[in-house]
Chain A
């Protein structure tokens, strides 16, 4: 399973990429693969405030709805509007065109506390 080395990860299978003073958030290849065909992505309005581990919305597949959680305390900067018409991007390109949203962390250093790729890979092995 693809786990890019330059991203940070959560135990709830979100990935995080630093982009200036924002973070880009998506779900991992492992998560989208486990869910199957994604039919709908439910995302919060820009400007919403989120606490770390709050559900910020979720990803709907035919079989189930899975919550997506805020990786750190943050506010919503923008969402990936392409997903409204093409939710399958999350399946096809989870680390690229299938990104979910951009968040403005309260404290950018919080991102450092998330798992790196190696830790996430070990977590997946433990989890399965």
Chain B
């Protein structure tokens, strides 16, 4: 391993499972163990275990914890119940996206934030610079092993490892529970479009939980899942990836995330004025999905055409294993977002893409 990448706390477990590693966001990450297709289908049909310990965590503790977080995120933390989570973005003053996050309200004076690994330092600096209120902001990114257990059988398998009634943790709720003998923050969240949980586990208990979940899941078809299938799963579910659908030059309105921008919440927030303007004027482009003809996969940067005119750019593309066709996401100029189909230049050849605003795959 090179000096520039850090090993995950459970790296030897992954190596023992035959993982192929590749650098991602400063970490040496398991990309796949078996094949991306097998891993993808295991999550859709049974369950998969992801080590996503590269993700960052930031904790905000103090009397003003909730309003401090609300001063930098677009969604409304004050509206959450204790034990409730929300998806949100954090924006620059110009309205473009610093990062997308999940915010967990653990107590009136304690908020836990999960951030993208690649943005951990940027997010922390942004929060320290822009937030207002009396609370302590702590980078806890090195303190947790984060495991995601995703798939239709996830709850059933985890249920065997805890006395806590997991059915009481509904979608986007969380609880601090004991699981496999370890104190964990268990959240019913994920990045696959399936039911499942994300577990924040103190590093010293990481192996114990990983081993217990692996053993309990094995008879049900659990596979360890690498970042490769994590990407194909999230794309099929039309979930945004920072660096592709979101960036420092993309705003949440054009990204289709108006639903997390609460312009009228009680705490003013960074980017509010810019986002109000963008929303009232309407964005100049919008994110669209594409069902593609043929087998060639559009890749990030491929141009989208209406006739001879470039009207957009692809941000993500992959084969959808559930549909068995290539799918892609991309930004399309506003004049063309109502088009039924547009053409995508894939290595010099035109591929017809049928536009959609829906997930490519939705679990039933």
- Residue A36 CB within 8 A of the other chain: yes
Segment 59-94 of A: residues with Cβ below 8 Å from B: 60, 62-65, 87, 91
Contact A36 B299 (CB under 8 A): no
Q: How near does chain A come to B352, taking the closest CB pair, in angstroms? A: 16
A28 sits at the interface (CB 8 A): no
User: Given the complex, which residues of A lie within 8 Å of B318, measured CB to CB?
Assistant: 62
CA–CA, A42 to B346, complex, Å?
A: 12
Bound-complex Cα distance A40 to B299 (A): 14
- Judge if A39 is at the interface, Cβ distance under 8 Å: yes
Does B114 sit at the interface, judged by CB under 8 A?
no
Q: Which residue of B36, B295, B296, B297 is within 8 Å of A36 (Cβ)?
A: B36
- Distance between Cα atoms of A40 and B347 in the complex (Å): 14
B316 smallest CB distance to A (angstroms): 12
Residue numbers of A with Cβ under 8 A of B are: 36-37, 39-40, 42, 58, 60, 62-65, 87, 91
- Closest Cβ neighbor of A87 among chain B residues: B295
A-contact 0/1 string along B270-282, CB 8 Å cutoff: 0000000000000
Q: How far is the CA of A101 from the CA of B37 in the complex (A)?
A: 26
Q: B268 interface residue, CB < 8 Å from A?
A: no
B32 within 8 Å of A (CB atoms): yes
Q: Complex: how many Å from CA A49 to CA B35?
A: 35
Q: Which of B35, B296, B299 contacts A37 (CB 8 A)?
A: B35
B295 touches A39 (CB 8 A): yes
* Closest chain B CB from A110 CB (angstroms): 27
Smallest CB separation, B260 vs chain A (Å)? 29
Give Cα distance in the complex from A87 to B232, angstroms.
Answer: 18
A37-B297 in contact given A62-B228, A62-B232, A65-B347 (Cβ < 8 Å): no
Chain A residues, CB < 8 A from B32 = 36
- Are B319 and A62 in contact, CB atoms less than 8 angstroms apart? yes
The answer, among B228, B299, B319, for a CB contact under 8 Å with A39, is B319
Q: Are A40 and B295 in contact (CB under 8 A)?
A: yes
Once A and B bind, how many residue pairs between them come within 8 Å at the CB atom? 35
Task: Note all chain B residues with C-beta closer than 8 A to A60.
Answer: 295-297
Residues of chain A with a CB closer than 8 A to B297's CB: 39-40, 60, 62, 65
Instruction: Tell whether, in the assembled complex, residue A40 and residue B228 are in contact, meaning their CB atoms are under 8 Å apart.
Output: no
Cα of A64 to Cα of B346 in the assembled complex, Å: 12
User: In the assembled complex, which residues on chain A have CB atoms less than 8 Å from the CB atom of B295?
Assistant: 39-40, 60, 87
Q: Give per-residue flags for B30-61: 1 if the beta carbon is below 8 A from chain A beta carbons, else 0.
A: 00100111000000000000000000000000
A-B contact pairs, 6 of them (CB 8 A): A36-B32, A58-B347, A60-B295, A60-B297, A62-B228, A63-B228
Bound together, the chains give a CA A128 to CA B79 distance in angstroms of 53
Option from A36, A58, A87, A91 in Cβ contact (under 8 Å) with B228: A36
Additional A-B contacts beyond A39-B295, A62-B297 (17; CB < 8 A): A36-B35, A36-B228, A37-B35, A37-B36, A39-B319, A40-B296, A40-B319, A42-B296, A60-B295, A62-B36, A62-B37, A62-B318, A63-B228, A64-B299, A65-B297, A65-B347, A91-B35
Q: Which residues of B contact A36 (CB under 8 A)?
A: 32, 35-36, 228
Contact bitstring B17-36, A, C-beta under 8 A = 1, else 0: 00000000000000010011
List chain B residues, Cβ under 8 A from A42.
296
Q: Are A65 and B36 in contact (CB under 8 A)?
A: no
* 4 interchain residue pairs of minimum CB distance: A40-B295, A39-B319, A37-B37, A37-B35
Query: Considering the chains assembled together, what is the distance between the CA atoms of A60 and B299 in angstroms?
Result: 11
B325 to chain A, nearest CB (A): 10
* Bound-complex Cα distance A91 to B35 (A): 11
CB distance from B320 to the nearest CB of A (A): 10
Q: Give every chain A residue within 8 A of B347 (Cβ-Cβ).
A: 58, 65
Q: How far is the CB of B122 from chain A (nearest CB, A)?
A: 26
Residue of B35, B232, B299 near A65 (CB, 8 A) is: B299
B329-364 vs A, Cβ < 8 Å mask (1 yes, 0 no) = 000000000000000000100000000000000000
